[in-house]
C-alpha cells in the first residue's frame, strides 16, 4: 500500500488500490462490520470542488442504484466522508476484456458469447431508459467463470434527459464512440450498439477499427471513413458475422440494429447456423483463459481487479514449485541467521576478564550495538570490547558522565552537527523550490503552446461541423487553475502543495497533448 493510500474510510478498511483514473481511485476494501470485501470508488478530493465531476459521480450513483442485472456490476451503497464522495461497488473478480485483447484476437465462439452478455445488460438498461455512452472492452470485466460484467456508468444518462449532450460536450472513448457522439449530436440507445459493434470488431480481428494516431484523426475517421471488413483481416470469420458487424457500425443510426435484442438475436442465429462456434468447441490452440494477475497495471481502469489462479492449471503447478523453492531458501537463510546469532552470544564473554566472565542477559535486554543514553541522565553501563565489565564495587560508586563514541556529552545548545544539519535542510529546501519553479515555468510554456494549438484546432473543427470535446475544454480550464494554485504555493514556500498542483497540471497537459496528437 502506498504512503498516500488511506488506511480506513468510514466503516471500510482499505486493503489495496485496484486502479485509478482521471476522476478517482478504486480500492479493495473490507467492511469492518460485515467482513464483506467490496470495491470502493472514491472521487479525488481536488475534483470534489468541481461541479462537473461531482455531477457525473452523483449521476453514476443514482443510475446504478436503479439497475439490478447479473451482467452489470452492482452498487452496494454510497456516502460522503469528509470532502470525499464514496461509492461501494460489487467486487468483480476478473480481468477486463481490454487486457485479454492485448494477447490477440478472441476465438469467435468466445467473442459471440461475451458480446451476447453485454447486449443482455444493455437490453435491460435501455428498457429503463439508461444509455451507457462509454461501451468498450475496458469496461467489460470477465470473471474466471466466463461471466461478463458491464462497468463504469459514469457517463450514462437517461434517454429522457434533453439538452445534456450539446456542442462541445463529446465524451467517451473515441476509438469506440459513435459518429453522433463525435459530432456532439443527440444520442440514443443505438449509439451504445455502435460501440458494441466496434468492440466485437476488435474481438474477432484483434485490431482496432481505425489505426489513426491522434484524437482529431480518430474523430474524422468515425464520421467519414469506412473501415476494412473483418473478413478481409481474418478470412475464417463467417460471412454472416461479418455482415452483422458491418451493420452494427453503420454511420447512419437508422441502418444499424434498432435495439439490443435484435443485435443479440442476430448473433444467436450465427451460432446456431455454425455448430463449430458453440462455446467450448474452439480448437485447443485458440482457447483463451483469464490470465492470473497479482496487481493491476498502472494504467488500469478503475474497475480493474486481479484474477485468481485456477486450481489444477499449469500456472498453479509452477507457482507451487516456486513457493517450494522459496520456502527451502528461507529455511536455509533462517538457519544461517540463527547460527550467526548464537556465535555472537558465545563470543560476548570474551569481552570481559577471563577470571570473572560477565553473565549474558536475555537477548531482549541486550542491544546488538552500544545505545546512547539521554543527555539529562547518567548512561547505563555500556558493553565495550576493549574494557572489562565493571565489578560490583565499581557499579556501586557514582559514575562520571564521559563522552564516548555513540554517547556524546550533553551541551547547553545545539551541537555543530545539528547546526550543519539545519543549514543542509535549508539548502535542500531552496534547491527544491528552485526546481519546482523551473518545472512551473516549463509547464506554463507548454500550456501556452497547447492554448495556441487548441485555438487553431477549434477553428478547423468548426468549419467541419465538429465541436471541441467537452472533456478537453474542462482539461484546459483545469490546467490553468492548477498552475495558478501551484504558483501561489510556491510564493508561500509550500513545496508539498506546489508539488501536488504541478502534478495535477502535468496530468491535464498530457491529456491535452495526447488529444492534439503530440504524444
Integer Cα distance of 140 and 97 in angstroms = 6
Pick the closest to residue 254 from 173, 178, 158 (CA basis): 178
Pick the closest to residue 372 from 407, 403, 408 (CA basis): 407
- Determine contact, residues 279/113, Cβ cutoff 8 Å: yes
Pick the closest to residue 450 from 509, 388, 373, 398 (CA basis): 509
- Determine contact, residues 494/488, Cβ cutoff 8 Å: no
Residue 181 CB coordination number (10 Å): 27
3-state secondary structure 179-206: HHHHCCCCCCHHHHHHHHHHHHHHHHHC
Q: Annotate 231-295 with DSSP letters as a single string.
A: HHH-TTS-HHHHHHHHHHT-SSGGGS-SSHHHHHHHHHHHHHH-GGGSTT-S-TTT---PPP-SS
Integer Cα distance of 519 and 510 in angstroms = 8
Quick check: is 347 catalytic? no
Q: How many CA atoms lie within 13 A of 217 on its CB side?
A: 10
Integer Cα distance of 399 and 50 in angstroms = 67
Residue 396 CB coordination number (10 Å): 8
Q: If DSSP codes are grouped into helix, strand and coil, which group holds residue 40? A: strand
Q: If DSSP codes are grouped into helix, strand and coil, which group holds residue 172? A: coil
Q: Which of 99, 134, 192, 301 is catalytic?
A: 134
Q: How many CA atoms lie within 13 A of 173 on its CB side?
A: 20
- Determine contact, residues 43/83, Cβ cutoff 8 Å: no
The three three-digit cell numbers of residue 69, written as one number: 442485472
- Determine contact, residues 132/172, Cβ cutoff 8 Å: no
Q: If DSSP codes are grouped into helix, strand and coil, which group holds residue 495? A: helix
Instruction: For residue 113, give the H/E element and its range.
Output: helix 108-127
Instruction: For residue 228, give the H/E element and its range.
Output: none
Question: Hey, which residues are catalytic here?
Answer: 134
Amino acid at each position: 500500500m502506498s504512503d498516500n493510500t488511506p488506511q480506513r474510510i468510514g466503516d471500510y478498511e482499505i486493503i489495496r488500490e485496484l486502479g485509478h483514473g482521471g476522476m478517482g481511485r478504486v480500492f479493495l476494501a473490507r467492511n469492518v462490520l460485515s467482513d464483506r470485501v467490496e470495491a470502493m470508488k472514491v472521487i479525488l478530493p481536488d475534483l470534489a470542488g468541481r461541479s462537473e465531476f461531482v455531477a457525473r459521480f452523483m449521476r453514476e450513483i443514482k443510475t446504478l442504484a436503479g439497475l439490478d442485472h447479473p451482467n452489470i456490476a452492482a452498487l452496494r451503497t454510497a456516502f460522503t466522508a469528509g470532502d470525499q464522495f464514496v461509492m461501494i461497488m460489487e467486487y468483480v473478480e476478473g480481468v477486463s476484456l481490454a487486457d485479454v485483447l492485448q494477447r490477440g484476437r478472441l476465438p469467435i465462439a468466445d467473442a459471440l458469447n461475451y458480446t451476447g452478455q453485454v447486449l443482455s445488460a444493455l437490453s435491460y438498461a435501455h428498457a429503463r431508459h439508461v444509455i451507457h455512452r462509454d461501451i468498450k472492452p475496458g469496461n467489460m470485466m470477465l470473471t474466471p467463470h466466463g461471466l461478463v460484467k458491464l462497468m463504469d456508468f459514469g457517463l450514462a444518462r437517461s434517454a429522457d434527459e434533453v439538452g445534456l449532450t450539446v456542442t462541445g460536450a463529446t465524451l467517451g472513448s473515441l476509438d469506440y464512440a459513435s459518429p453522433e457522439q463525435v459530432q456532439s449530436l443527440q444520442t440514443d440507445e443505438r449509439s451504445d450498439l455502435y460501440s458494441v459493434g466496434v468492440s466485437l470488431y476488435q474481438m474477432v480481428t484483434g485490431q482496432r477499427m481505425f489505426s489513426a494516431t491522434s484524437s482529431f484523426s480518430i474523430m474524422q475517421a468515425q464520421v467519414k471513413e469506412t473501415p476494412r471488413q473483418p473478413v478481409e483481416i481474418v478470412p475464417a470469420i463467417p460471412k454472416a458475422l461479418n455482415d452483422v458487424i458491418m451493420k452494427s457500425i453503420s454511420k447512419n443510426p437508422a441502418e444499424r440494429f434498432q435495439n439490443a435484442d435484435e443485435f443479440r438475436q442476430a448473433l444467436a442465429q450465427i451460432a446456431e447456423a455454425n455448430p463449430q462456434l458453440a462455446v467450448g468447441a474452439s480448437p485447443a490452440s485458440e482457447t483463451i483463459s483469464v490470465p492470473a494477475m497479482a496487481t493491476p497495471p498502472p494504467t488500469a481502469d478503475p474497475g480493474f481487479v486481479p484474477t485468481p489462479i485456477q486450481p489444477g492449471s499449469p500456472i498453479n503447478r509452477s507457482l507451487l514449485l516456486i513457493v517450494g523453492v522459496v520456502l527451502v531458501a528461507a529455511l536455509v537463510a533462517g538457519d544461517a541467521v540463527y547460527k550467526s546469532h548464537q556465535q555472537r552470544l558465545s563470543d560476548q564473554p570474551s569481552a570481559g576478564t577471563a577470571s570473572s566472565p560477565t553473565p549474558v542477559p536475555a537477548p531482549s535486554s541486550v542491544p546488538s550495538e552500544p545505545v546512547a543514553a539521554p543527555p539529562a541522565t547518567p548512561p547505563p553501563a555500556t558493553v565495550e570490547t576493549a574494557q572489562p565489565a565493571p565489578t560490583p564495587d565499581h557499579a556501586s560508586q557514582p559514575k562520571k558522565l564521559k563522552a564516548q563514541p555513540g554517547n556524546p556529552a550533553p551541551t547547553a545548545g545545539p551541537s555543530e552537527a545539528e547546526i550543519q544539519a539545519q543549514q543542509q535542510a535549508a539548502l535542500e529546501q531552496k534547491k527544491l523550490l528552485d526546481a519546482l519553479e523551473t518545472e512551473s515555468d516549463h509547464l506554463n510554456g507548454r500550456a501556452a503552446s497547447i492554448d495556441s494549438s487548441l485555438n487553431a484546432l477549434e477553428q478547423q473543427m468548426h468549419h467541419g461541423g465538429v465541436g471541441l470535446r467537452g472533456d478537453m475544454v474542462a482539461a484546459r480550464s483545469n490546467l490553468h487553475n492548477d498552475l495558478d494554485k501551484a504558483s501561489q504555493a510556491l510564493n508561500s514556500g509550500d513545496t508539498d502543495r506546489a508539488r501536488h498542483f504541478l502534478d495535477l497540471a502535468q496530468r491535464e497537459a498530457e491529456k491535452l497533448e495526447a488529444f492534439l496528437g503530440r504524444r
